[in-house]
Structure 1
Amino acid sequence: MYQLTGVTKRYRRGKDTVDALRGIDLAIADGDQLVIQGPTGGGKSTLLQMLGGLDRPTNGSVLLDGTDLARLGETRLTRVRAQQIGFIFQSFNLIPTLTAQENVETALVPLGVHPGQRRQQAAEALESVGLGERLSHLPSELSGGQQQRVAIARALVKQPKVLLADEPTGNLDEATRDDIMSLLEGLWRDRGLTFVIVTHDSAIAKRAPRLATIRKGTLTVRESTPS
């Protein structure tokens, strides 16, 4: 699935150069679940952006099924993201003027899915996350946990190979966090997804079958026994 080799990311900050990632080597197999944990500013989100093709490394390669995302042109890279990778973010990133169903449909527009089929697939995706009765609700009419379920449905409606989640429970209380993680883990198992999640939450890290820790741009990976 993924093979990262020598991935370095440097940013210019005024006159200084900051190394967000320092020569990262990482393999993620098909169907793997990997949790990435570490302090703020340690490089977690930068690494996730590399996996999602949202940013390019300064040096190194990011292979997804043998294709180097770092070397793809923007048109092809956009297509890979649209077809193969689902994203979930801490802030939900829902469009406030669209209903839950319409928000989910937005993931299918770049794929050229017919409007009628989009509506059907969006409804089925929302049903799969327990929101089959909330299709016409606006984000403002939903709780935080429900909004994140809409975001999960949007990420999965296109049936991606990869699900990338950046602090997906960061805006949720403890009980809702556990509900969302149980939902995500169930979807991961049922759909055979490759699932990578960035979190600062130790309770989530303890659940992971595989845990990576990143500090000052350096990655350490260890197998873990989920609790």
Structure 2
Amino acid sequence: MYKLTGVTKRYTRGRETVEALRGVDLTIEDGDQLVIQGPTGGGKSTLLQMIGALDRPTEGSVELDGVDLARVSEAKLTRMRAEKIGIIFQSVNLIPTLTARENVETALVPLGVKAAERRERAAEALRSVGLGERPGHAPAELSGGQRQRVAIARALVRKPRVLLTDEPTGNLDEGTRDDIMGLLEGLWHEYGLTFVLGTHDSSIARRASRPATIDAGRITLTEQAVARAAR
């Protein structure tokens, strides 16, 4: 599904040039569960932005189903992102004035889904993450774990093939972290998603079927992942 070749990303800050990614080569197959562990500033968020079609590399190519995301028009990139990719961030970015269901519905508006279908699909997505009884609650009326579940429902309501998550449990306590990870892993299995997660948490990385590390913009697959890729 994904093929990254020589992906380099540079940012200019005043007179300084920061190289966030350095020649990353990576293949992600359909249905993979790839967990990328690394420190803050190591490059994992930048890498997820490349995979999520949220930014373009300075050099190299990011291919999704044979289409180089670095070369297509902005309109096509937006459409591919809307149709194929669900994204969850540490900061859930829920709209405080909307209910849980309305927040989930916002993901369907760019696809031109009619209001009645939006409501139905949003309600089903909330049920799938265990919030079927909370559609009318505002974010302020939900716990941190419940708000993260709403964000997961919002990412899944489009029925994407890819689910990208950047530090999805970073603001949660240990028990809630494990609940959210269990939910994400269950959804990965249930829907056959390609699942890519970025984290600094080694306990999460140990759960992965395909773990990797990233530091100073360079990614390294663990021995377990290399052995799987060679089969």
- Map of 2:219 onto structure 1: 219
C-alpha distance in 1 between matches for 2:43 and 2:49: 10
- Cα deviation, 1:4-46, whole Å, max 9, x if unaligned, reads 0000001112212111100000000000000011111110100
Provide structure 2 residue ranges, at least 5 long, that are not aligned to the other structure. 226-231
One-letter code of the match for 2:170?
G
TM-score, normalization by structure 1: 0.98
Structure 1 position 222, deviation (Å): 2.1
C-alpha distance in 1 between matches for 2:39 and 2:154: 29
1:89 equivalent in alignment to 2:89: yes
- Map of 1:158 onto structure 2: 158
1:12 equivalent in alignment to 2:18: no
One-letter code of the match for 1:209?
S
- What secondary structure is seen at the aligned counterpart in 2 of 1:149? helix
Contact 1:87 1:155 in 2 (8 A): yes
- What secondary structure is seen at the aligned counterpart in 2 of 1:197? strand
- What secondary structure is seen at the aligned counterpart in 2 of 1:70? coil
Q: Which runs of 4+ in 1 moved over 3 A?
A: none
- What secondary structure is seen at the aligned counterpart in 1 of 2:94? coil
- What secondary structure is seen at the aligned counterpart in 1 of 2:17? strand
Structure 1 position 223, deviation (Å): 5.0
- Cα deviation, 1:173-210, whole Å, max 9, x if unaligned, reads 00000000000000000100000000011110010011
TM-score, normalization by structure 2: 0.96
Contact 1:208 1:224 in 2 (8 A): no
* 1:115-130 correspondence runs (5 A): 115-130=115-130
- What secondary structure is seen at the aligned counterpart in 1 of 2:131? coil
Structure 1 position 224, deviation (Å): 3.7
RMSD over equivalenced CA pairs, Å: 0.9
Closer, same or farther: CA 223–210 of 1 in aligned 2, 3 Å: farther
C-alpha distance in 2 between matches for 1:17 and 1:154: 36
One-letter code of the match for 1:28?
I
- Map of 1:192 onto structure 2: 192
One-letter code of the match for 1:54?
L
C-alpha distance in 1 between matches for 2:47 and 2:208: 18
C-alpha distance in 2 between matches for 1:223 and 1:123: 42
Closer, same or farther: CA 223–153 of 1 in aligned 2, 3 Å: farther
One-letter code of the match for 2:99?
T
Contact 1:100 1:135 in 2 (8 A): yes
What is the aligned-residue identity percentage?
74
- What secondary structure is seen at the aligned counterpart in 2 of 1:93? coil
1:38 equivalent in alignment to 2:44: no
- What secondary structure is seen at the aligned counterpart in 2 of 1:154? helix
Contact 1:98 1:138 in 2 (8 A): yes
- How many pairs are equivalent? 225
* 1:94-133 correspondence runs (5 A): 94-133=94-133
